[in-house]
Amino acid sequence: MKITLVKKILADGSPCKKCGDVLQKLEESGHMSRIDEVLVADERDPDSAGLQVAKDLNVHRAPFFVVEKEGQAPEVHTVYLKFVKDVLEQNTSASDEALEIMKDNPDLDFI
Amino acid sequence: MPAELLNTVDIDSTLQKEPPQEILRYALSQFDNIALSFSGAEDVVLLDMAMQIRPNIEVFCLDTGRLHSETYRFIEKVREHYNINIDVLYPDGSAVRQLVKEKGLYSFYQDNHQECCSIRKIAPLKSKLLELDAWVTGQRKDQSPGTRGTIPVIQDDRLFARANETLTKFNPLANWTSRQVWDYIRAYNVPYNELHDRGFQSIGCEPCTRPTGPNQHEREGRWWWEEATQKECGLHASNVKKA
Ligand code: SF4
């Protein structure tokens, strides 16, 4: 299994806040060692590796994780806590996960 | 057909040109384990259309505990009118209790609606969607140009999919306007929520919804006290070179 994290640099060159939060949580929990590669989706550079992966996998947000297993299509995870639970098999709180989903997905206001 | 075999991007470009009834017909032909999400508002048109195709389609609805009494009455009216079961979903009682104990009944006016919505809507929705292979929503592009301007009619729902599996989401009304929805409701005598006759264009929870006046967009009737949030997590696809 190969895990790739794609983080974003905004068009003004500043780092994306959520990406920073996720990286910090990965470091603090010791999960960073499970991440095989970190790619940058640089909004100033359409050729940046992260933006190309986002395009190939039809992902419209960052950060996100790509999990590749031999012989299987790559899996994309855009919810950090869901990734932690489903891929890293660590316990997460259902309400924290719901709040993360709500905060990161303003389009869910249709519900 | 296993959902993983669906290339939702390609199918979307074909279905975008189709009317909602055809999109629904396609969705129901592809999935048995599919349910329709009904909000108790004008998305009743979708339910009406689905009844013509699969009268026993599973329908669910989120009861946040804060809906207008008119909406509860309407949900009941729909249940009787179509003679269907509606699976009414409720939030986790202890999570609501904790929120109210810590922050009161109107915390969303002080913070914002995210925490309350995550407990009352997202968590029960998430549990429900774990049971399904596909779901159908009534969302439309014209409801919120800011957050829904580009919604596809079919999409791979990575947010709510079971681990290592896929969940497909259909938005058959994506390209319909409010006008088309209301033309349908009137043409086919579809029952509707009485709040619409009192100036409510968009209907949600009672404390977070208000009527709108002439020339106001319907979103101005929802969470009106909040600033438009900066959607920093979006990737600006226009920056991505075409292959
Ligand atoms: S719409 Fe308002 S009352 Fe309803 S769940 Fe969201 S914040 Fe809570």
Within 8 A by CB and 6+ apart from B140, the residues are B148, B171, B173, B174, B175, B176, B177, B178, B181
**Position B79 in a domain:** yes
* Domain extent at residue B111: 3-224
DSSP label of B220: G
The CATH number given to whatever domain includes residue B153 is 3.40.50.620
Q: What is the DSSP letter of B122?
A: I
**Which domains, ranges and CATH numbers included, belong to chain A?**
2-104 (3.40.30)
Q: Which residues in chain A touch residue B138, judged by CB atoms under 8 angstroms apart? A: 110
The C-alpha atoms of residue B240 and residue B175 are separated, in whole angstroms, by 25
Instruction: Give A82's contacts in chain B (Cβ within 8 Å).
Output: 159
3-class DSSP assignment, residue B3: helix
Domain annotation covers residue B77: yes
Strands B134-136 and B34-37, bridge-based pairing: parallel
Over its length of 111 residues, how does chain A's per-residue pLDDT go in tens digits? 999 999 999 999 998 989 999 999 999 998 999 999 999 999 999 999 999 999 999 898 889 999 999 888 899 999 999 899 889 988 888 888 899 998 888 888 788
Mind giving me the DSSP string for A59-83? --BSSEEEEE-TTSPPEEE--HHHH
Q: By C-alpha distance, which of B175, B174, B152, B154 is closest to B29?
A: B154
What pLDDT is stored for residue B242 in this prediction?
Answer: 41
- What pLDDT is stored for residue B238 in this prediction? 42
Which residues fall within 8 angstroms of residue B114, CB to CB, at 6 or more apart? A99, A102, A103
* Cα–Cα distance, B150 to B13 (Å, whole number): 12
- Residue B2: the pLDDT is 40
CB pairs under 8 A between A and B: 113
Does ligand 1 lie within 6 Å of residue B121's CB atom? Answer: yes
pLDDT value for A54: 93
Residue B210 forms part of a structural domain: yes
Cα–Cα nearest to B129, from B92, B91, B158, B167: B167
* Tens of pLDDT, residues B15-44: 888 999 999 999 999 999 999 999 988 899
Q: What's residue B6's pLDDT?
A: 66
pTM of the model: 0.83
Instruction: Give the tokens for residue A50.
Output: 């992260």
Residue B123, pLDDT score: 95
- Confidence at residue B231, expressed as pLDDT on a 0 to 100 scale: 40
Cβ separation B234–A78 shorter than 8 A:
no
Taking CB atoms and an 8 Å limit, are B139 and A110 in contact across chains?
yes
- The structural domain count of chain B equals 1
Q: Whose CA is nearest to atom 7 of ligand 1?
A: B113
Cα separation, B154 vs B27, in Å, equals 9
Contact list, A53 vs chain B (CB under 8 Å): none
User: How close is the Cα of A102 to the center of ligand 1, in Å?
Assistant: 12
CA distance B177 to B60: 23
B117 is catalytic: no
How many residues can be counted in chain B?
243
Residue numbers of chain B with a pLDDT score lower than 50: 1-4, 229-231, 237-243
Tell me whether residue B235 is in a domain.
no
